Amino acid sequence: MVEFRNVSYTYPTGQQALNRVNLKIDDNEFAFVVGANGAGKSTLIKLILRELTATEGEVIVNGFNLNHMKQRRVPKLRRTIGVVFQDFRLIPNMTVYDNVAFALRVIDAPIKYIRTRVPYVINLVGLETKAKSYPNDLSGGEQQRVALARALVNDPQLIIADEPTGNVDPARSFEIVDLLKAINACGTTVLMVTHQHDLVRYFGGRIININTGAVVFDEVIGGADEAQ
Nearer to other proteins, 88 or 203 (CB): 88
- What does the CA dihedral 86, 212, 11, 15 come to, rounded to 10 degrees? 130
Least Å distance between CB 18 and other proteins? Answer: 21
Nearer to other proteins, 75 or 126 (CB): 75
Q: How many angstroms separate the first and last alpha carbons of the chain?
A: 31
Least Å distance between CB 207 and other proteins? Answer: 25
Nearer to other proteins, 91 or 182 (CB): 91
Nearer to other proteins, 87 or 137 (CB): 87
Least Å distance between CB 87 and other proteins? Answer: 10
Nearer to other proteins, 21 or 104 (CB): 104
Applying CB under 8 A, which residues contact other proteins? 49, 72, 75-83, 89, 91, 102-103, 105-108, 110-111, 150, 154
User: Do residues 215 and 221 make contact, with C-beta atoms less than 8 angstroms apart?
Assistant: no
Q: At what angle do helices 140-152 and 96-105 cross, to 10 degrees?
A: 20
Helix/strand/coil for 20: strand
Nearer to other proteins, 49 or 214 (CB): 49
Cα gap 8→17, rounded to integer Å: 7
Nearer to other proteins, 111 or 227 (CB): 111
Least Å distance between CB 147 and other proteins? Answer: 10
Q: At what angle do helices 96-105 and 111-124 cross, to 10 degrees?
A: 130
Least Å distance between CB 135 and other proteins? Answer: 11
Least Å distance between CB 214 and other proteins? Answer: 27
Q: What does each C-alpha distance from 48 to 1, 34, 117, 184, 204 come to in angstroms?
A: 11, 16, 26, 18, 23
Of 79, 132, 84, the closest CA to residue 106 belongs to 79
Beta strands in 70-225 (DSSP E): 81-84, 158-162, 189-193, 205-211, 214-221
Cα gap 214→219, rounded to integer Å: 15
Least Å distance between CB 85 and other proteins? Answer: 9
